[in-house]
Amino acid sequence: MDIMEEPSVSVLEFEKILNFATKGIKVFNIIKTSLNIGLFNILEEEHSCSELSKRFSIDHDVIYYILEALVKLELIEKNNGNYKNKEISNIYLNSNSYFQRKTIIESLNQPLSYWNDLENILYSKEIKYDENFFEFIIKAMAEDAVSGELQETLNIVKKYDEFKDSKTLLDIGGGHGLYAIGFKKLNPDLKAFVFDFPNVLNETKKFCDKYDSDIVLIPGNFYDDDLKGSYDVIFSSYNPGGKNAKIAEKIYESLNMNGLFINKQYFPTKTELNLDDILNNLEWNFTNFNMSNKGKIRYTFKNDLSYESYLKNLEDLGFEILDIFPINHHNASFGTTAEDKIIIAKKVR
Ligand SMILES: C[S@@+](CC[C@H](N)C(=O)[O-])C[C@H]1O[C@@H](n2cnc3c(N)ncnc32)[C@H](O)[C@@H]1O
């Protein structure tokens, strides 16, 4: 070996990749831990590092660097040696805020233990996580929804006369129920129903209580059970059956003539995947979802139709496609912004 020989590719190029990888983990843990210890609640008011060190019984130098990192991340600000939340933290990281995202951060943290165990996961046949995860994840989805997607969806739907005139609405796979709760607020005469797994509906009930809403909860599995009624509007958002021909047929059967089927759904159409897409697809394969027939690509399930085939299938069933809107919100617990669409279809025959 020639002691003077240097590598043909600069080590900096390689270090850049590793640094990008490890920095994210450190930053995420600083934010998560600061949130969990209640730092962002305390920093509604200005505090010095010494006060915070005493209050949390954390070594002065350690909390100093946590605070300085949060300043660099522009989550808090420093004035004359005192630290205080920036508005972004008061909104999203303070547990007193309506828009706080604690469950989302928990949901981002959960799969990290699988990522840390990737080597075992590669060889293990064990189920990683399954449908029981819905009970938890819908709470994160509720936090996501209220910071923009819920309002955007309601604003789209409220313009349709068919919605204004509707008396009954079913939110299939409604989860937290915020869409049904919102539709009922826009149209108080509406009788709104949420269909979901029984264990998930226990969580839905808590959201109904929080928003003082009297929506009706229907327990069941939409692959096996009847949708229990005929409805003027059927709404579906990120429902695992939202690309499935059998579920579309079930919806058609349960919809009144001239009624609307509104389907918010992710349809993968990209041919060139970026790193985020690839990581999301890989993480999706840590899940099992036996009851829902999970597919190989994120948010896809066996027997899913492609976007074009799904639309054609709706038309063949007797729907007219009134409109299709792109709706590209960041969906934190499911990865990065997806190519989501809201399909508004009317039963015409
Ligand atoms: C990704 S979450 C979407 C929740 C909510 N609609 C939203 O957009 O925020 C999917 C929902 O569908 C429900 N779900 C999944 N498979 C189901 C099935 N086979 N029968 C009934 N509900 C199901 C889940 O429990 C969960 O509430």
**Residue 328: what pLDDT?**
79
Q: Do 219 and 319 share a domain, yes or no?
A: yes
Same domain? For 248 and 198 the reply is yes
Of 55, 78, 60, 58, residue with least CA distance to 68:
78
Collapse the DSSP code of 48 into the 3-class scheme (helix H, G, I; strand E, B; otherwise coil) and give the result.
Answer: strand
Model pLDDT, residue 337: 63
CA of 199 to the centre of ligand 1 (A): 11
Both 284 and 330 in a single domain? yes
Q: 336: domain range? A: 133-347
34 and 142 together in one domain: no
Q: Looking at residue 223, what is its pLDDT?
A: 93
Instruction: Identify the pLDDT of residue 250.
Output: 98
How far is 311 from 321, CA to CA, in rounded Å? 8
Final residue of a domain: which of 85, 100, 115? 100
Distance 240 CA to ligand 1 centre (A): 7
**pLDDT for res 238:** 92
Q: Is residue 336 part of a domain?
A: yes
Of the two residues 255 and 293, the one the predictor is more confident about is 255
| One domain, residues 30 and 141 | no
The answer to whether residue 68 scores a pLDDT higher than 60 is yes
Ligand 1 center to residue 8 CA distance, Å?
A: 52
The pLDDT confidence band at residue 339, using thresholds 50, 70 and 90, is confident
| Residue ranges around ligand 1 (CB below 6 Å) | 134, 138, 141, 145, 173-175, 196-197, 200, 221-223, 237-240, 291-292
Q: What is the number of the ligand 1 atom nearest to the C-alpha of 171?
A: 6
- Model confidence at 18, pLDDT cuts 50, 70, 90, reads very high
pLDDT at 301: 87
Please tell me the residue having the least CA distance from ligand 1 atom 13.
173
197 vs 287, residue with greater confidence: 197
Distance from the CA of 295 to the center of ligand 1, in angstroms?
16
Do 227 and 319 lie in a common domain? yes
Tell whether 155 is covered by a domain: yes
Q: At what angle do helices 102-116 and 133-144 cross, to 10 degrees?
A: 130
- What's the token pair of residue 10? 């600069």
Contacts of 278 (CB under 8 A, 6+ apart): none
pLDDT digits (tens, 9 = 90+) for 123-144: 876 666 776 788 999 999 999 9
| More confident of the two residues 32 and 285 | 32
- Please report, rounded to a whole number, the percentage of residues in the chain having pLDDT higher than 90: 79
**Tokens describing residue 246:** 């059998």
How much is the pLDDT for 294? 83
- Residue whose CB lies within 8 A of the most ligand 1 atoms, among 138, 169, 290, for a mutation test: 138
Q: Which two tokens stand for residue 53?
A: 């060190």
- Residue 109 falls inside a structural domain: no
- The pLDDT, as a whole number, for residue 126 is 65
Alpha helices (H) along the chain: 11-36, 39-42, 49-56, 60-72, 87-92, 102-116, 118-123, 133-144, 150-157, 161-164, 178-186, 198-210, 245-254, 275-284, 307-317
Number of domains in the chain: 2
CATH code, domain carrying 70: 1.10.10.10
Instruction: For residue 26, give every residue at least 6 positions away whose Cβ sits within 8 Å of its Cβ, in sequence order, or none.
Output: none
End position of a domain, from candidates 44, 75, 100: 100
Give yes or no for a contact between 167 and 232, defined as CB atoms under 8 angstroms apart: yes
- Ligand 1 atom 14, closest CA: 173
Cβ atoms 216, 181 nearer than 8 A? no
Residues 148 and 16 in one domain: no
pLDDT digit string (tens) for 232-257? 999 999 999 999 999 999 999 999 99
Least confident of 32-41, 229-238, 287-296, 302-311: 287-296
Based on the domain organization, do 282 and 339 belong to the same domain? yes
Residue 341: count of CB within 10 angstroms of its CB: 19
* 3-state secondary structure (DSSP) of residue 107: helix
User: Residue 292 pLDDT > 90, yes or no?
Assistant: no
Is residue 60 domain-shared with residue 164, that is, in the same domain?
no
User: Considering the domain boundaries, does residue 128 fall inside one?
Assistant: no
Which ligand 1 atom is at minimum distance from the Cα of 291? Answer: 19
Q: pLDDT tens across 186-223, in order?
A: 999 999 999 999 999 999 999 999 999 999 999 999 99
Tell me the pLDDT of the chain averaged across its residues: 93
The radius of gyration of the chain's CA atoms, rounded to the nearest angstrom, is 24
Rounded Cα distance between 3 and 296, Å, is 49
pTM: 0.94
CATH (domain of 227): 3.40.50.150
Task: Verify that 271 and 324 share a domain, yes or no.
Answer: yes
Quick one: 287 and 217 in the same domain? yes
Residue-level pLDDT at 215: 96
pLDDT per position as a tens digit, 69-108: 999 999 999 999 999 999 999 999 999 999 999 999 999 9
Contact of 235 with 180, CB cutoff 8 Å: yes
- Compute CA 50 distance to the chain's CA centroid, rounded to the nearest angstrom: 38
- How far apart are the C-alpha atoms of 94 and 227, rounded to whole Å? 39
Atom of ligand 1 nearest to the CA of 264: 8
Residue 340, in any domain of the structure: yes
Kindly report, residue by residue over 31-47, the tens digit of the pLDDT. 999 999 999 999 999 99
Question: Does 328 reside within a domain?
Answer: yes
Number of separate helices (H) and strands (E) present in the chain: 15, 10
Query: Does 125 reside within a domain?
Result: no
Assigned domain for 5 exists = no
Pocket test for ligand 1, best of 135, 196, 228, 294 (most atoms within 8 A of CB): 196
Residue 157: closest CA among 258, 261, 311: 261
One domain for residues 138 and 284: yes
Specify the pLDDT at position 214.
94
Among 75, 100, 125, the domain boundary falls at: 100
